Structure 1
Amino acid sequence: MALLVQKFGGTSVGSIERIEAVAERVIKARQLGHQVVVVVSAMAGETNRLLGLAKQIDAVPTQRELDVLLSTGEQVTIALLAMALNKRGYLATSLTGDQLGIRTDTVFNNATITEVETGVVTELLDRDHIVVVAGFQGRDSRNNITTLGRGGSDTTAVAIAGALAADECQIFTDVDGVYTTDPRLVSEAARLPSIHFDDMTAMARHGAKVLQLQSVEYAEQHKVPLRVLSSFDEGEGTLVDFSTVSDNGAAGVAVKGQQALYRVMQPLEKVEQQLGLLGLDAWCYGDSQQATYPATYIVAADDELARLNVILEKTELAQSSVATLTLVGEGVDVRSTEVAASLTEKGVGVYQRKCTARCVSLLINGQDLQLAVEHIHKKFVVEPESLDNRPLLAVS
């Protein structure tokens, strides 16, 4: 018998019919003899609806009260799922983050989990209950309700799995695993049965959206095996753990589209310092041609511009559409020049590139993204001469 923590996102519980389907999926695990803790998000669209209500009252609502409001979305879902399980003859108890004992720091709207108390959930599991927990929320040291920000339900599930020493944390999404690149862009993208944490972390950092970076880092730190599964189809998904061998060579291609290039007339060192204070991990580089009036270029998504303007003066739009793609894998940095030259041969201009031991990142024109991803994926991930028959690792 295993202890499983299963997480279902807003799309998976987006209607009564889907909540009923989630109940059936949970029961399958219970019938196999497993203990199950289920973490759920608010129903799809509910958090945005609540945020819209708040803004009808106040365009800039008080952060504390906003957390009180937004946390109710998950409370609806946990009650409905527990009802669906009870109706089917299975003991199920719903718990808010506070009731379970998820403790956080005092940062409203983007709190960090500091502790997960296990007494309540362990006692319920010992009584053969399925425990249904509200993701995305907790309570701080001052008894305030807090929410965890983007990807908060994933982080909740991983934190609970770590505290309980669960055998596996299963993240159910609308895709059936982790792929060698975004399958919406490249038809040859392949799902991988397993992937090493190091590669998954690199991919999440550079654009793979199947798992939130914070949850992957937390799982790696606490040695919690993750499995990505489809909410709608059967299958083994992709296991993220430490046992998968990661041979030297390209593993996959991570992608960030819908970005723009901004220019600010400040030295690179100063801009990097200011971005660090904001907690914004943006790609920025200096213009070596501007010796008298130093300029720094910043790659950022549209929704990050407001945050940039908080700390940077006179931010100018330099190019409206750019994209970044990152070749991920052990030792790929030695192929940086080859990768860039390969794109140039295909007519794709590379504005900048940067390297680490596991990544080669390339800044290109946004209109060239489709061509660039297909080419790099085929040449450095799929073709036998670049793989030397190594097993693929995944990027999505």
Structure 2
Amino acid sequence: MAKPVIEFDHISKSFEIGKLGSETLRQDLIKYWKQLTQKASLNPSNDTFWALQDISFSVNEGEVIGIIGRNGSGKSTLMKILSRVLLPTTGLIRGKGKISSILEVGTGFHGELTGLENIFLNAQILGMKKHEVTQKLDKIIAFSGIEEFINTPVKRYSSGMYVRLAFSVAAHLDADILILDEVLAVGDADFQKKCLVKMRELASNEGKTALIISHDMQALRQLCNQIAYLEKGKLKEFGAPTPTIAKYLYQEKIEFLGQVYISPDEAPGNQYLRVKKVSITPSERVNQIIYRNATLSFELEYWNLIPDISIMVRLFVFSFSGECLIQIDTPLKNLGVNTLHCVTGTIPSNYLGAGSYYFSVYFLDADEHKVLGFDTCLSIDLAGKESIILGDIPQAHVSSILKLQYI
């Protein structure tokens, strides 16, 4: 039976809003100086904010744990406590092993030092000897992909370069536990893919443990053994990735499958067009989970407010990273007198890979000028039956297979 390497035992963290001593020393000093120079009260408020409340779960050796929740749910606070940046108000954390963390861009780096010097600095923090780092140096630099700038001070790095180097250092140095806060949100798609593969390799082959905060649900579904779902500082759910992520998307209404409006007066639009309904309906759900083998039915209803205009409806499907995967058009149609129009379409099963997507609808005139744009009007999360890291999302930008039609 696997033994826990980290145990969160009834962890709670409160902050006295406006008071000193509720944050890090650096943040308190900055606040203190501002209050002195602006002649503000040092204790303007006695309000207590509980960022975390009674968090308990354990992590076994070699596990990858995803931490999910809305902004402000306590994810980063929990990781800062584990990294010993903050102390808990109540509760204990029991753990063993060296911890390496990337809590935010630039954390643990000295801006005046070069990338190379920062590699050795991070290694010393972890207690490694210089000769141990030298043995791994070529691999660290090669993985980061910034060989050309390794002797440049990191204060001149972009956020993507920071994260590349920080992740490469954390992944190759002698740490037993990795803490990564939104690393997958920075950097290009190729580097994100390298991170996923490397994390899987560290966990399965080297027995390293990782805790990852991310809003990339598909990456977490592929990579993690368990998911911790935080809501307003409380542990809402801790369990297997697919059902826990589905519960998060469903309860937080991040999965947005439809909008309906009763009259043109309250509907979104402009002086030309108003949207009555837009929806995407899966052919089936399994325990609130929508799998990629479900057929997706799209429906749009809209009013034209002026007669005799010609409109082409264009549907876009984007990945959550912003890549346009699908574009589908209706034929150009003269709308005639003021009336209600309905457009439907179908995305076949298994056409989209597992992942999160959002939809935008544009209404164009005969010259393909925008009459109305309805951006990010729908979103959906599709689960896969298997965890596949590479090659899961099609790269077609314009579809000749899918059709939209008036009914």
- TM over 0.5: same fold? no
Q: TM-score range by the shorter chain?
A: 0.3 to 0.5
Structure whose residues are more often helix by fraction: 1
| TM-score, normalised by the number of residues in structure 1 | 0.32
Which protein has the larger Cα radius of gyration, Structure 1 or Structure 2? 2
Structure whose residues are more often strand by fraction: 2
| TM-score, normalised by the number of residues in structure 2 | 0.32
